Structure 1
Amino acid sequence: MIRRWAADFALGMRLALGGGGVRTAWARLALTAAGVGLGVVVLLAATSLPHMLGARAERSAGRMAVAVAVDGVDPVYAVERNDEFRGRGLQGFLVQPTGSRLPAAPGVERLPGPGEAVLSPALADLLRSPDGELLRPRFSQRVIGTIGDVGLTGPNELYFYVGSATVATQPDAGPVSGFGGEPARRGLDPLELLLVVVGATTCLVPVFVFVVTSTRLAAAARDRRLAALRLVGADRGQVRRIAAGEALLGSFAGLVAGGALFLLVRALVPRITVSAFRGGIFAADVVPDWRLALPALLALPLLACAAAVFALRKVVVEPLGVVRRGTRVRRKLWWRLLPAVAGGVLLAVRAGAGDTLDPAVIAGVVLVLAAVPLVLPWLVERVAGALGGGSPAWLLAVRRLQLDSATAARLVGGIAVVLAGSIALQGVYARAESDHPPAGEVQVLATAFATSLADVQAFTAALHAQPGLGDVPVETRGLVRNAAGEQSSVVVGSCAELAIAGCRDGDVYAVGPGVVAPGERIWFARRTGPPQWTVPADRYHVRTGEGSGLLVTTGALATATSVGLSSNARIPAAGADAVERVRNVVGWNGIVASLGTERDGTYALITRVLAVGSVLVLLLAAGSLLIAAWEQLRERRRSLAALMANGVGRGVLARSLVWQLAIPVVVAVAVAVLAGLALDWLLLTWVVRRPMVVDLATIGVLTATAAAAVLLVTAVTLPVLWRTASPEHLREE
């Protein structure tokens, strides 16, 4: 029995290569392999995410500063800087060596000393390019080397180690004896987990829909070959196994093509510089997790065989032909709704559970989305049957849909699944956005650290010299500690800046309880070395008001040996170049941050990855739709050629093709919108117990994007239509 089944499968594979003419068979196989191959690429890419994220996290943890003393290592004072340049992340360490035995940083031969720098290759290239002109003032040091891959999260990351002689005086700087640690991770809240579940499902479910569609290309020609086999004595069981063999060959070819395409994409990944992949991705990190990839890839041939056999359920393949053109039994709706009902029940059962990674929740999302392509054939059949007459192009399209609505429904099924999942995903995303407090007015906060009043004055003068920033107020603050370890805040400024009546330069004002006493010897910031300043007793005043701390005029600090202050300037939002000039003024002795644009890093990563995944799946949907449309035109070449020979113009055929896709698309969009909103309601209202948020504008954009993808595919198929309708195709092949 096993030998007989193997022979039937082998015969099906041979027919797939030579049935209906070698040229036609190979074209059909190529189209099937392309459709399956696109799905394979998506699956392999999806299963590569765990390894990719893990590798990036390990390298990021490997360069974390360690303050524990190590024998034989002279520590360096180090402080981490998180900066940016025109929207690109710019990170690294400022270091100040204390000896010659420096700790080893990953990917770096030697940490730099004062006036030296070690840069990532991408940062070095940027500084050499014309685009890096505004960045060069921040990297005037001598470059002594580049950072290797082991010290970077990606090939395009802008990372640095800059040597400086003033690191020890900066806040948050401390001695570092090595690098390497565990990255800090936070758990995902239920909405973020729900984003991951819905996004992953939206990206993966269409893949299997596309595989089913691809393995059913050229179904009519296959059925005629099977009828011929019945004529020479094959029974119905053999026919089904032979059909499965044909589908197997296409799926195997798709596995090979998809694997080759994945390797090509993997080699090109380091060239991707979009902001969603901050720092880029090393090709070596894109490694599929075979625990996930192998079952998924093995499922593709099984799915292809099941689809091929299932397609024969209502096709009577007999020795005298294929009974497909007779009166068709109207499709039933009840069983097509079962997955949606089952999915809804699973989600309702998990109502308020909070665990959005529960298998029941994942299965519920999959079942609801899987119901979309099942309902479409029934609905397209009903709509096509209700349509009446019109122009010749309309009549041709409607009649074609009435004869074969299932093919049209399969063509747009993938688009419908992507659209439904995207609408549900957008609903969850909108809910998560509403839970995050809205960002305030975007401003730039520049903070410069100073060790003397001269530093404060130099920063203020340089900032006010920038175009449009001459009137920006600068506030100087700091912390002081007394011998008892008590600390107090300090605000330093002129009498005009402090706005105190009767003030004279040299006065000190104490506000609130717990401040230092007059004549007390104190330290700035860290309590190291001898006291740095004595509070003047003769110019000390107590002032009532809210808060606590010292208000110090600049003249009162004339006797200070050194200070630890920070000058802060809040700058209204300006152009990108103006912000970069402010960063150059601050240099590495401070921080420049954009206020009002902050987003949690984990949340931002989730939304970025899902946005890129949605675009890729939409492209996959459009590609699969294009392949299926080409195959439909190739299969109907004789009928199209006959229409052209009988006087039907090209314009009529083109408009007919547009209507043949437009009518199912309208139906698919309606089903997708309803399914997406229903899934969104189930997830938010039942699973996480949050009010539903409907973003009509975004739904409109998503719908228009799906429709535009179909119209674009139609436009691309027109040249194929002209060639297909040539009179030479009237001959039987």
Structure 2
Amino acid sequence: MIRRWAGDLALGMRLALGGGGARTALVRLALTAAGVGLGVAVLLTATSVPHLLGARDDRASSRVLAPGALAADVDPVYAVTRNDEFRGRGLQGYLVQATGTRLPAAPGVDRLPRPGEMVLSPALAELLGSPDGELLRRRLDQRVIGTIGDAGLTGPNELFFYVGSDTVTRQPDATLVSRFGYESSHRPLSSLELLLVVVGATTCLVPVFVFVVTSTRLAAAARDRRLAALRLVGADRGQVHRIAAGEALLGAFAGLLVGLALFQLIRVLVPRITVDAFRGGLFGTDVVPDWRLGVPALLALPLLACAAAVFALRLVVIEPLGVERRGTRTRRKLAWRLFPAVVGGALLLTGLGGDGADNPSVIVGVVFVLTAVPLVLPWVVERVAGLLGGGSPAWLLAVRRLQLDSATAARLVSGVAVVLAGSIALQGVYARVESERPAPREIRVLASYYATSVPDGEAFTAALRALPGLGAVPVRTSAMIETASGERASVVVEDCPGLRARAGVTDCRDGDVYAATTYRGYVPEPGDRLWFSELRRIARAAVPQWTVPAVHRVPMSGEGAPELVVTPAALATASGVGLTVNATLPDAGPDLVERVRNVVGWNGSVYSLGTGRDSTSALITRVLSVGSVLVLLFVAGSLLVAAWEQLRERRRSLAALAANGVGRGVLARSLVWQLAIPVAVAVLVAVPAGLVLDWLVLTFVVHRPMTADVPSIALLTATAVAAVLFVTALTLPALWRTTNLENLREE
């Protein structure tokens, strides 16, 4: 029996290659392979996401500073992290200061740089060499001794550096390390973030399986005629079904090969992505499918193709007379089509198996609800088409075609309906995530400079205020002092004129220390010997760095008045000073911000306040945004493939209409109506389905109120309709060729 089944499958494959003429068979096979191949490429790419993100995280973790026990065979380095920007692009790296010759190894770097040297990522080196990097070259003016390899970068477009400096020990956030890298821990996703992933992934993957089923049913009429001929020569019904499965199997196998080729093309093109979808870009070598997800998906596709081909024959009666006879045409039933929606809704309502978005029943429920959309759509299209009446010739042709074969039209737009329903639900979840994000603060730029003396801080202040528009920018100089017993206090460095103006202190002498009478923290006594806390931690200074002069308790008033003040002359005898000079700037243009960064140099940092977003949420949003665009392109491409096949299959009837005087314009308008009507129905089905899914997951899964975002829904609907109309326009040239009288000839 196995041999007979294998023979029937092999016969089906041979018929798929040569049935109805070699050229026609190859065109049919190519269309099927293209449809399945698109699905395979999307599935492989989707199953590569875990490895891609994991590889990025592993490389990022491998270069993180690892403080702790120092290795005996390595001379440690002082290092400080710098997270910077250059005109909106992330700029990150380390300043390092060696303590010996046996430097620790950093991933992707031959050796760490010494003062005056630097090692850059290829993208950063390219930027510095371009005209756009002129302002950045003033900051990165060290000698380049090498480039960072892939092992030390999260992506090919990342701007990363290692800069050698002899001032690292003066910076309060410096760390002494003898190795790079440690196993990082990531915070778990919040319920809303996890729900965003679930709905987004389901929205991206369900249309793939929908179109794989549709692709295996291309050229169904020609296949049925071939099967009728086989019945004529003695094939029984079981053989006919196995032969049909063999034809679908060949298309599925060809689609697997096409999908693998497309996937390899995606891996080649991925490093060229320069948009901010992923900060630093993606390595093509990271796009590796997870075999636990990819292998079952690839094995499921041929089985799904065979099942769809056999299932399509359930209403077809193939007799040995060489003709195709259909049984009595019956109206579609709605009950079983609603079953997945009912089951999915019940799972989301009851939350069987647990509470929250990490419950597996939530994933199953979302999949069931979205799967119900393409199942219900043919029933609705059939009912709507049956209600439509007369009109123009183009309208009549379109309506009559829909009444005769509404299932084909519904299959053409089912992918659009699924994407639209899922996108509406996804937009609702995303809107809820955004609404729970803290309101953004006023956008400001905070510049911090680490000074080693009062004159050093004054020089920075003068250079900063010399920049255009920053002549009156407020500056605050502070330090952290520490006693031998570990008591700490934060002090502000202020001259007497400033102390009189800001705090209302009338009796001030430069060289003394002043504490507010209301201050209840540690107040140093005259003669106390103290350290500057951060410098003591870094340099492990054993000798106190500063002896406290006279200390006075005075009343201080005014907004922002400090509580513990050190006048500049009081620090003149300090053996080592660690001061932080902070300046808050109004929101400025990008060039001015870069000039501020150049003034700060590597002895500080510049941050943009009020513009940050949660990195996890931003990453999920970027991934889903790219995925949504790819799925929309996939749906448009699949719709185009199916529309071309429909035109090719109907070429004789269209050519006959043209031969009998029906103009091409009428046929073109008829083609537009044949897609426009199902699209309108798809919108009517998808919008309520998306809103209901949004309500279910927000109300019963994460217990948040739902708010309909009408403008976003309208935009999503308009985008879906525009995609269908664009595809329709692309099919018009094929329509002109189809109406040639040569297509009246039998093949």
Please tell me the TM-score bracket, short chain as reference: over 0.9
1:354 maps to amino acid: D
Deviations 1:671-712 (A, max 9, x none): 111111111111111112111132222111111111111111
Equivalence map 1:551-570=2 (5 Å) = 551-570=565-584
SS, match of residue 688 in structure 2: helix
**Does the Cα contact within 8 Å between 2:492 and 2:564 map onto a contact in 1?**
yes
**Does the Cα contact within 8 Å between 1:206 and 1:417 map onto a contact in 2?**
yes
**Structure 2 partner of 1:128:** 129
2:554 to 542, 556, 559: 542
C-alpha separation between the residues in 2 aligned to 1:12 and 1:503? Answer: 102
C-alpha separation between the residues in 1 aligned to 2:646 and 2:292? Answer: 37
**Structure 2 partner of 1:2:** 2
Q: 1:583 to 1:354 in 2, by over 3 A?
A: farther
C-alpha separation between the residues in 2 aligned to 1:578 and 1:654? Answer: 57
Q: 1:503 to 1:116 in 2, by over 3 A?
A: farther
C-alpha separation between the residues in 2 aligned to 1:215 and 1:693? Answer: 40
**Structure 1 partner of 2:546:** 533
Q: 1:648 to 1:72 in 2, by over 3 A?
A: same
2:471 maps to amino acid: G
C-alpha separation between the residues in 1 aligned to 2:515 and 2:6? Answer: 94
Equivalence map 1:380-391=2 (5 Å) = 380-391=381-392
**Does the Cα contact within 8 Å between 2:353 and 2:361 map onto a contact in 1?**
no
SS, match of residue 173 in structure 2: coil
Shift of 1:496: 4.8
Instruction: Name the stretch that deviates more: 243-252 or 647-656.
Output: 647-656
Equivalence map 1:150-299=2 (5 Å) = 150-299=151-300
**Does the Cα contact within 8 Å between 1:505 and 1:556 map onto a contact in 2?**
no
Equivalence map 1:62-461=2 (5 Å) = 62-67=62-67, 68-320=69-321, 328-350=329-351, 353-461=354-462
Q: 1:75 to 1:106 in 2, by over 3 A?
A: same
Shift of 1:493: 2.9
2:120 maps to amino acid: L
Do structure 1's residue 53 and structure 2's residue 53 form an aligned pair? yes
Shift of 1:240: 1.2
**Structure 1 partner of 2:530:** 522
C-alpha separation between the residues in 1 aligned to 2:434 and 2:476? Answer: 34
RMSD value, Cα? 1.9
Shift of 1:275: 1.3
Q: 1:503 to 1:214 in 2, by over 3 A?
A: farther
1:730 maps to amino acid: L
C-alpha separation between the residues in 2 aligned to 1:384 and 1:158? Answer: 57
After TM superposition, the score normalised by the length of structure 1 is 0.96
**Does the Cα contact within 8 Å between 2:317 and 2:327 map onto a contact in 1?**
no
SS, match of residue 476 in structure 1: strand
SS, match of residue 94 in structure 1: strand
**Structure 2 partner of 1:578:** 592
Shift of 1:463: 1.9
C-alpha separation between the residues in 1 aligned to 2:496 and 2:371? Answer: 72
**Does the Cα contact within 8 Å between 1:505 and 1:554 map onto a contact in 2?**
no
SS, match of residue 84 in structure 2: strand
2:555 maps to amino acid: R
Shift of 1:547: 8.8
C-alpha separation between the residues in 2 aligned to 1:587 and 1:621? Answer: 50
Shift of 1:482: 2.5
Shift of 1:252: 0.4
Do structure 1's residue 704 and structure 2's residue 718 form an aligned pair? yes
**Structure 2 partner of 1:23:** 23
**Does the Cα contact within 8 Å between 2:481 and 2:488 map onto a contact in 1?**
yes
Do structure 1's residue 635 and structure 2's residue 643 form an aligned pair? no
2:51 maps to amino acid: H
Do structure 1's residue 657 and structure 2's residue 671 form an aligned pair? yes
C-alpha separation between the residues in 2 aligned to 1:252 and 1:632? Answer: 22
Shift of 1:533: 3.0
C-alpha separation between the residues in 2 aligned to 1:325 and 1:655? Answer: 30
**Does the Cα contact within 8 Å between 1:13 and 1:246 map onto a contact in 2?**
yes
C-alpha separation between the residues in 2 aligned to 1:352 and 1:38? Answer: 35
**Structure 2 partner of 1:38:** 38
**Does the Cα contact within 8 Å between 2:493 and 2:568 map onto a contact in 1?**
yes
SS, match of residue 138 in structure 2: helix
**Does the Cα contact within 8 Å between 1:12 and 1:242 map onto a contact in 2?**
yes
SS, match of residue 204 in structure 1: helix
**Does the Cα contact within 8 Å between 1:515 and 1:548 map onto a contact in 2?**
no
**Structure 2 partner of 1:682:** 696
C-alpha separation between the residues in 1 aligned to 2:39 and 2:145? Answer: 46
1:571 maps to amino acid: L
**Structure 2 partner of 1:587:** 601
Shift of 1:655: 1.6
Point out where structure 2 has 5 or more consecutive residues left out of the alignment: none
Shift of 1:130: 1.7
Shift of 1:535: 3.1
2:10 maps to amino acid: A
1:509 to 511, 514, 524: 514
Shift of 1:351: 7.0
SS, match of residue 687 in structure 2: helix
**Structure 2 partner of 1:486:** 487
Deviations 1:133-188 (A, max 9, x none): 22111210011111111111222211111011110110111211111211131111
Shift of 1:254: 0.0
C-alpha separation between the residues in 1 aligned to 2:353 and 2:8? Answer: 52
Instruction: Name the stretch that deviates more: 234-243 or 246-255.
Output: 234-243
C-alpha separation between the residues in 2 aligned to 1:544 and 1:466? Answer: 32
1:13 maps to amino acid: M
C-alpha separation between the residues in 1 aligned to 2:286 and 2:597? Answer: 33
Deviations 1:88-126 (A, max 9, x none): 221111101111111111111111111110111111111
SS, match of residue 134 in structure 1: helix
Deviations 1:270-301 (A, max 9, x none): 21122122222222221111121111101001
SS, match of residue 172 in structure 1: coil
SS, match of residue 81 in structure 2: strand
2:638 maps to amino acid: S
**Does the Cα contact within 8 Å between 1:17 and 1:26 map onto a contact in 2?**
yes
C-alpha separation between the residues in 1 aligned to 2:42 and 2:554? Answer: 70
Instruction: Name the stretch that deviates more: 320-329 or 224-233.
Output: 320-329
C-alpha separation between the residues in 1 aligned to 2:568 and 2:391? Answer: 87
C-alpha separation between the residues in 2 aligned to 1:692 and 1:322? Answer: 55
**Does the Cα contact within 8 Å between 1:352 and 1:688 map onto a contact in 2?**
no
**Does the Cα contact within 8 Å between 1:34 and 1:254 map onto a contact in 2?**
yes
Deviations 1:448-477 (A, max 9, x none): 111112222222222222222222212222
Deviations 1:525-554 (A, max 9, x none): 3332433333331x6343356997412333
2:634 to 599, 617, 620: 620
Instruction: Name the stretch that deviates more: 710-719 or 504-513.
Output: 504-513
**Structure 2 partner of 1:597:** 611
C-alpha separation between the residues in 2 aligned to 1:324 and 1:274? Answer: 55
Q: 1:313 to 1:547 in 2, by over 3 A?
A: farther
2:197 maps to amino acid: V
SS, match of residue 111 in structure 1: coil
Shift of 1:328: 2.1
**Does the Cα contact within 8 Å between 1:16 and 1:246 map onto a contact in 2?**
yes
Point out where structure 1 has 5 or more consecutive residues left out of the alignment: none
Q: 1:324 to 1:463 in 2, by over 3 A?
A: farther
C-alpha separation between the residues in 2 aligned to 1:89 and 1:354? Answer: 38
